[in-house]
Amino acid sequence: MELEKCKVSNMSTHLKVVLTLPIGMLLCFIFGGGVLVFAYLLIWVDKIPLGIFYTKTGIDAVFYIEFTTLAAIIVGLNYSLWTGFFFMSLVPLGLNSIRQIMKPADFTDVSFILPTFKNFLDGIVAMVAHSMVGYGLFWIMVVVQIVKHPLSVWFDRISSPESIPQAKLFFQTVFNLALAVYLKEWAVFNPV
């Protein structure tokens, strides 16, 4: 009986996590339109399915792709400076927190829902993108990588003394620059 109760509870948790996609997309559409929905979808894919995959496999120690930087650029290019900052500081934090709920853990530790400098780093990326409207996606991505990675490494070194795998930063940079080259003609990257 206890096992069945646990299975129902697990299914309920998984359903709630999956429901964050349509609910979040609906809210983004109501408050920001289709571009914000696309940005939310990118963040959701990055934080929920990819985040769960990386957590279960541990593959993110070296090979790590992410879509949050691209979403930050989209929001920064298409919305105001502060909208980009707050959206990109709060939405990834919220989705990371929701992903943590899926872990079988003791929920007396709620540190995963407290913002850190890295949460605001995505907001800074949106602000950088907003200030570079008209420069083209590739050059925006280059500047973003130059700003984001050193700040990220600096914070990681302060928060934990273990070394940061350079291969992870290399793969992430190459992936993001390749996305920038491939997607440069999309309308969301060329606001009117």
Mean pLDDT of 10-34: 87
Is the per-residue pLDDT at 62 higher than 70? no
Residue % of the chain over a pLDDT of 70:
83
Please report which confidence band the pLDDT of residue 28 belongs to, taking 50, 70 and 90 as the band edges. Answer: very high
Q: Which domain holds residue 68?
A: 2-189
pLDDT at residue 191, rounded to an integer: 73
- What's the pTM? 0.84
Vertex 28 angle, CA 131 and 188, to 5°: 45
**Range among 50-54, 65-69, 88-92, 157-161 with highest mean pLDDT value:** 88-92
Please report which confidence band the pLDDT of residue 106 belongs to, taking 50, 70 and 90 as the band edges. Answer: very low
Sign of CA dihedral 12, 100, 145, 192: positive
Count of domains for the chain: 1
76, 130 in Cβ contact below 8 A?
yes
Please report which confidence band the pLDDT of residue 27 belongs to, taking 50, 70 and 90 as the band edges. Answer: very high
Q: Measured in whole angstroms, how far is the alpha carbon of residue 186 from the centre of its chain? A: 20
Q: Which of residues 16 and 178 earns the better pLDDT score?
A: 178
pLDDT at residue 155, rounded to an integer: 81
pLDDT at residue 43, rounded to an integer: 96
Is the per-residue pLDDT at 153 higher than 90? no
Long-range contacts of 31-40 (CB under 8 A, 24+ apart): 32/79, 32/83, 32/87, 35/74, 35/75, 35/78, 35/79, 35/188, 36/75, 36/78, 36/79, 36/87, 38/74, 38/188, 39/71, 39/72, 39/74, 39/75, 39/87, 40/71, 40/91
pLDDT at residue 26, rounded to an integer: 96
pLDDT at residue 87, rounded to an integer: 96
Q: Which of residues 149 and 189 earns the better pLDDT score?
A: 149
- Amino acid found at 160: S
